[in-house]
Amino acid sequence: MIKIIGAGLAGSEAAYYLARRGVEVELTDMKPEKRTPAHSGNGFAELVCSNSLKSSDVYGNACGLLKEELRILGSLMMEAAEYTKVPAGGALAVDREKFSEYITQKLQAMPNINIVCREECELPESGIVATGPLTADKLYSAIEEKLGKTLHFYDATAPVVSADSIDYAKTFSMSRYGKGEGDYLNCPMNKEEYETFVTELLGAERAQLHAFEKREIFEGCMPVEVMASRGKDTLRFGMLKPVGLEFEGVRPYAVLQLRKENAAGTSYGLVGFQTNLKFAEQRRVFSLIPALKNAEFERYGVMHRNTYLPSPEVLNEDFSLKDNPNLFFAGQMTGVEGYVESAMSGLLCGIHAYRRMQGKETLVPQDTCVCGALSHYVARENRHFEPMNANYGILGSGFERVRDKKEKKRLLSERALQEINRWKEEL
């Protein structure tokens, strides 16, 4: 039997892989008795927003490529995403509740998975720890005691508004550059509206401002108010950029995009609007956007601490501890940033743990595929280690002379798929 702590994406992937191969699994999770600040439901593999799985472009986006690698390896996450997806242009968006429900029911139905609701306070001698970036205090302390002080940064999430509270007369449906079938609801602003919004955003009161230091905020999850402080036009060249969103031949001065949070379309998330503003301030400032003047907020944005290990110091390329190869760590706590990346590490931990149980040697994919590149990234010596998303920059070299960026990405993607298929056959 193998013990897996945490039933997020990483833990669920590991449990599914092992159980399908006849291994008895004890899967423990502290929900529903206790939750982290980022969780609201009782199910497994809970996502913060519908678009957490990012792009679907296999040959032009590294996260899209990683998802294809996971499909090839039999990922539960990709199976659930296919079953619960909702329109989102070039992105893979899902109905969050149905996505979690699908994975929860799938694992509950497997006879060799024993699901236990319990908060773990100690590290086991063997198994997989996949408690995520918001690991509960007692286990967090046990990890610190075992490994030394862990690193941390702060993460932020975006608000969600009720669909029937949006002023649709002040919106238009369109995906950027016409990709998709108008899967995004766009909220345009003129120059005066934009400048008023930025001014009020910069003056708004933030929650627990004293607890956060700018250097600890991960760039990929930067709160909108922090982005705005970098210059009055920063948002217009970032999450509010109007490029590719011309409506009736006119390009707005700035545009907020809204994205469906569920298949029914009853809720919309504010794209790129991660925030640490106080709830009342979110309502006041975001309602300055014309289409959201009377918006009803179903969920406010929150900011919370994400913890991750000094992985290059303590982990091997198979995500096992250097001083205990029978204990694996998976998920964002290893320094892979993002839900898809987290699921990847869980699936790979399941693969490596299964081979170890069989007495076989560890096989790690080469860094020419995303799975391999991230595996090597978390284990290689790095004095400035920080969380890493899937990206083409971490893939092994070989196409430096190709000047066309689109062609280079295509070549890198084709080589990555060849490598993941080769590795699958070797397994």
pLDDT in tens, 126-156: 999 999 888 888 999 999 998 887 777 777 7
Which of 252, 279, 301 is at the close of a domain?
301
pLDDT of amino acid 219: 63
Tell me, yes or no, whether 6 and 141 share the same domain.
yes
Tell me, yes or no, whether 295 and 397 share the same domain.
no
pLDDT of amino acid 216: 58
- CA dist., res. 423 & res. 427, Å (int): 6
pLDDT of amino acid 49: 65
Q: Are strands 320-321 and 324-329 parallel, antiparallel or unpaired?
A: antiparallel
In our burial notation (b when 16+ CB lie closer than 10 A, e otherwise), range 277-316 reads bbeebbbebbbbbbbbeebebbbbbbbebbbbbebbebbb
Tell me, yes or no, whether 185 and 276 share the same domain.
yes
Q: What is the pLDDT of residues 360-402, one digit of tens each?
A: 999 999 999 999 999 999 999 988 888 888 999 899 888 878 8
The number of domains in the chain is 2
Per the structure, the complete domain to which residue 51 belongs is given by 2-153+306-426
Q: What is the pLDDT of residues 187-224, one digit of tens each?
A: 999 999 999 999 999 999 988 644 433 445 666 678 99
Residue 10 maps to which CATH number?
A: 3.50.50.60
Would you tell me how many other CB atoms lie within 10 Å of the CB of residue 90? 17
Tell me, yes or no, whether 295 and 310 share the same domain.
no
* pLDDT higher than 70, residue 181: no
Compute the average pLDDT of residues 259-266: 81
Q: What is the 3-state secondary structure (H, E, C) of the chain?
A: CEEEECCCHHHHHHHHHHHHCCCCEEEEECCCCCCCCCCCCCCCCCCCCCCCCCECCCCCCHHHHHHHHHHHCCCHHHHHHHHHEECCCCECEECHHHHHHHHHHHHHCCCCEEEEECCCCCCCCCEEECCCCCCCHHHHHHHHHHHCCCEEEEEECCCEEEHHHCCHHHCEECCHHHCCCCCEEEEEECHHHHHHHHHHHHHCCECCHHHCCHHHECHHHCCHHHHHCCCCCCHHHCCCCCCCCCECCECCCEEEEEEECCCCCCEEEECCCCCCECHHHHHHHHCCCHHHCCCCEEECCCEEEEEECCHHHHECCCCEECCEEEEEECCHHHCECCHHHHHHHHHHHHHHHHHHHCCCCCCCCCCCCHHHHHHHHHHCCCCCCCCECCCHHHCCCCCCCCCCHHHHHHHHHHHHHHHHHHHHHHC
Kindly report the average pLDDT of the chain as a whole number.
90
Tell me, yes or no, whether 186 and 295 share the same domain.
yes
Tell me, yes or no, whether 222 and 136 share the same domain.
no
- 103 falls in which pLDDT band (50, 70, 90)? very high
Tell me, yes or no, whether 281 and 403 share the same domain.
no
Tell me, yes or no, whether 139 and 179 share the same domain.
no
Which of 278, 301, 324 is at the close of a domain?
301
Residue 196 maps to which CATH number?
A: 2.40.30
Tell me, yes or no, whether 92 and 175 share the same domain.
no
Q: What is the pLDDT of residues 276-298, one digit of tens each?
A: 899 999 999 999 999 999 999 98
Which of 268, 286, 301 is at the close of a domain?
301
Tell me, yes or no, whether 321 and 416 share the same domain.
yes
- 48 falls in which pLDDT band (50, 70, 90)? confident
- CA dist., res. 50 & res. 33, Å (int): 25
Tell me, yes or no, whether 219 and 359 share the same domain.
no
- CA dist., res. 186 & res. 349, Å (int): 40
Tell me, yes or no, whether 50 and 89 share the same domain.
yes
